[in-house]
Amino acid sequence: MKWNNKFIYPKSSRSFENGLRKYLFGNEKLPSVTSILQATKSEEDKASLENWKQRVGHEEANKIKVEASNRGTSMHSYIEDFLKGRINESFFESSEQYKNMAKEIIDKGIKGKLEEIYGMETTLHYPEKYAGTADLVGIYQGQETIIDFKQANKPKKTDYIQDYFLQLGAYTLAHNVFYKTSITSGVILLCTVDNLFQDFKIDGTELIMYQNLFLGRLKKFNELKNLP
C-alpha cells in the first residue's frame, strides 16, 4: 500500500442544528449524508426500529447503541493507525474485541487488495447539496474505490444494509462531481462482534442506481425541510 496525495481533500467543521449534523464549507452549511438518510427512513423502517426498542426496552436499546458506537470508533481508529504505519503487527496480540475486529478487516479485506490510499476520514461534498465523511478513498483491487468500514452485532444480508450502499452512492457521486473523477466502485468491509468478516461491493450500473436512489432521498429530505 502506498499513499498518493492525488487529491486535496478539504478540512471542514461540523455542527448540530435541530438534530441534524451539518458540514461547514465557507458560508455553506450542508446536511450530512447520514442525517439525510435518517430523516427519510421509510415508515416500515421506523416502525421496525421502534418495535425493537419496545422489545428490548429503551434503556437497553440506548446502551446497545452507545456500545456499538464506541466500538466502531475504536475499530476505525486502529485500522487508520495501521494504515498510517503507527502500529505494527504486535497490536493484534491484544484480545480486546474491537482490535480483533480490526484484525479481521485488515487481514481479509485490506491486505493484498488495497493498493493505494488517496485519503482517510475524507470529507466529501456535493456543492450546495450535501456532505459526508468517507472512511477511505483509494485504489482497491485495481479500481478507484470508496470504502467504508462497518461493525455489527450480527451478520448482514444485503437487504438489511441498503443505507450503507446509499452512503457509497452519495460519496462516489460527490467525489465524481467535485473532483471530476469517474469512480465506479464502492466497498463495505464489515466485521461482527463474533469476528465474522463480510465484504460487499457495488459497482458499475448498480452503483449508479444507488447514486440516483440517494438523490431521491435528498429530494425527499429537502421537501421535508422546505428547502429549494
Residue range 184-222, pLDDT digits in tens: 999 999 999 999 999 999 999 999 999 999 999 999 999
| The pLDDT of residue 88 | 60
More confident residue, 88 or 98: 98
Q: Are the beta carbons of 12 and 30 closer than 8 angstroms?
A: no
Confidence at residue 92, expressed as pLDDT on a 0 to 100 scale: 53
176, part of any domain: yes
- The 3-state DSSP class for residue 28 equals strand
Q: What is the DSSP letter of 92?
A: G
Q: Which positions ≥6 away from 28 have C-beta within 8 Å?
A: 127, 128
Helix (H, G, I), strand (E, B) or coil at 9: coil
76-97 pLDDT, tens per residue? 999 999 998 877 655 555 668 8
Q: 13 pLDDT exceeds 60?
A: yes
Domain count, the chain: 1
Check pLDDT > 80 for residue 145. yes
Asked if the structure places residue 87 within a domain, the reply is no
Confidence class of residue 44 from pLDDT cuts 50, 70 and 90?
Answer: confident
Alpha carbons within 13 A on the beta-carbon side of 139: 12
Phi, psi of 138 (to 5 degrees): 180, -160
Which of 76, 74, 144 minimizes the C-alpha distance to 115? 144
What does DSSP assign to residue 90? G
Find the range with the poorest average confidence among 30-34, 143-147, 222-226: 222-226
Does residue 227 register a pLDDT over 70? no
Q: What is the pLDDT of residue 19?
A: 80
Asked whether the predicted pLDDT for residue 228 surpasses 70, the reply is no
Q: Which three cell numbers stand for residue 161?
A: 444494509
Lookup: cell for 111: 491486505
Instruction: Report the distance separating Cα 129 and Cα 22, nearest Å.
Output: 11
Instruction: For residue 78, tell me if it sits in a domain.
Output: no
Question: Strands 185-192 and 28-31: what pairing?
Answer: unpaired
Kindly list the distances between the CA atom of residue 92 and the CA atoms of 82, 87, 130, 149, 181, in Å, as whole numbers in the listed order.
Answer: 11, 10, 37, 18, 36
Measured torsion, CA atoms of residues 207, 211, 199, 156, in degrees rounded to the nearest 10: -120
The answer as to whether 103 is a domain residue is no
Rounded mean pLDDT of the chain?
A: 90
pTM above 0.85, yes or no: yes
Q: Which of 72-81, 93-102, 117-126 has the lowest mean pLDDT?
A: 93-102
Residue 135, pLDDT score: 96
pLDDT digits (tens, 9 = 90+) for 45-62: 777 777 777 787 878 778
The reply to whether 72 falls in a domain is: no
Is residue 202 assigned to a domain? Answer: yes
Tell me the per-residue pLDDT of 159-183, one tens digit each, with 9 for 90 and over: 999 999 999 999 999 999 999 999 9
Sheet holding 114-126, edge to edge: 2-3, 114-126, 130-140, 143-152, 185-192, 197-203
Q: Is residue 77 part of a domain?
A: no
- Residue 202 structural domain: 2-58+114-224
